[in-house]
Amino acid sequence: MSKQVTIKQIAQYAGVSEATVSRVLNQPELVSKQTIQKVKDGMDELQYRPSALAQSMRNHTTKTIGVVISNVLNPFFTTLVRGIEDAATKRGYSVIVCNTDENPDKEQRYINMLVDHQADGIILASTGNHANYHSMVNDMPLVFIDRMPQGKDANLYDTVLVDNEKGSFNAVDALIKQGATRVNAIVSPVATTGTERLNGFRKALTAHDFPIREQDIALDDYLGQHTAELALNLIQTNQCDALFCGNNVILMNVLKVLKEWQIGDMKLAVFDDQPWFDFVQYPIISVDQPAYLIGTKAFITLMDRLANPNRPVTHDIVRTKLVIR
């Protein structure tokens, strides 16, 4: 690379000290108009750009945050990330996105990396396999999204979550009101969301005096490798006429099965909404989570925490919206 232009050279050019150049950047009110002009001319002339690295080193703040999620390819997280990035950019922050694939080791490594890089904070969709994040990050601020902190961390950190139970309840309730007589469920066992969504499912059945049969519930593995089998099994052995899917990935796999086996009649509901649901031949009931909003809220929460490390922990629950099709 052609050599970096530093404060030193600007100082030389303008015939002032490095300190003065720095002041022009950070506290221009302390510098005379004339000097400011000279220095600015130098900066323009030499195309000066301050080294963010050196600044971070001195100021102990990197203007960088980490976002640790399971997978950007999941459109829920894609949108969430975009929300974070937009909010971050507006405030001069950069974001580093980390995909754990629900693997606790990967999560651990990424968090270490972010600590090494002195990120100013982390927004985290926890895998749920670590119960003491605090010991990993020292006093770096953490905001939990999508999944609740567990164990020791439980009341230590700010959260931005959705009401999984209520959303699921509404979806299953809608299914039944549309005439479903036997609703089965496939959910992912990931962290706290799986359980909560299942609770909603159960409560909706109960509310309609439907029996709860454990055989009507399938727990997916996260990677979705066996979702298809599970779905087929439910459909064939239970003769269910409606299926509640715990997330959009599960729904996708269910659709594959329905197509392959040419099953034309099935009521479907899913937690999380996607635009293309409109174009599928089945009328899909979905629970729309405001992913983008969750992202911006999480970022703002993090900024608040940074500005005021001692303020009480906040727990934000955002509203979901039922989409009937």
Partner DNA sequence: CTGAAAGCGCTAACAT
Partner DNA sequence: ATGTTAGCGCTTTCAG
- Shortest separation between residue 44's beta carbon and DNA, angstroms: 15
Rounded distance between C-alpha atoms, residue 200 and residue 148, angstroms: 17
Question: Smallest distance, Å, CB 157 to DNA?
Answer: 25
* Contact residue for DNA among 37, 41, 45, 57 (CB under 7 A): 57
Tokens of 322: 């039922």
Q: Where does residue 43 rank: exposed (0-12), middle (13-18), buried (19+ CB within 10 A)?
A: buried
Q: Which of 40, 46, 86, 323 binds a second copy (CB under 8 A)?
A: 86
Q: Contacts with DNA in 5-44 (CB under 7 A)?
A: 6-8, 15-23, 25-27, 30-32, 34-35
Angstrom distances, CA of residue 51 to CA of 25, 26, 62, 124, 172: 12, 14, 11, 29, 55
Q: Pick the piece of the chain touching a second copy (CB under 8 A) from 90-98, 192-200, 206-214, 263-271.
A: 90-98
Size of site (CB under 7 A) for DNA: 30
Q: Which residue type is seen at 88? A: A
Q: How far is the CB of 237 from DNA (least distance, A)?
A: 59
- Assess 280 for contact with DNA (CB under 7 A): no
Interacting positions 39-58 with a second copy (CB under 8 A): 49-54, 56-57
94 binds a second copy (CB under 8 A): yes
The tokens 């900066």 sit on which residue?
43
DSSP, residue by residue, 59-122: HT--SEEEEEES-TTSHHHHHHHHHHHHHHHHTT-EEEEEE-TT-HHHHHHHHHHHHHTT-SEE
Q: From the CA atom positions of the chain, what is the Rg in Å?
A: 26
Which of 88, 176 has the CB closer to a second copy? 88
Cα–Cα distance, 140 to 223 (Å, whole number)? 30
Where along the sequence are the contacts to DNA (CB under 7 A)? 3-4, 6-8, 15-23, 25-27, 30-32, 34-35, 50-51, 53-55, 57-59
Where along the sequence are the contacts to a second copy (CB under 8 A)? 1-2, 49-54, 56-57, 62, 64, 71-73, 75, 78-79, 81-82, 85-86, 89, 94-99, 112-113, 115-118, 138-140, 252, 255-256, 259, 274-276, 278-281
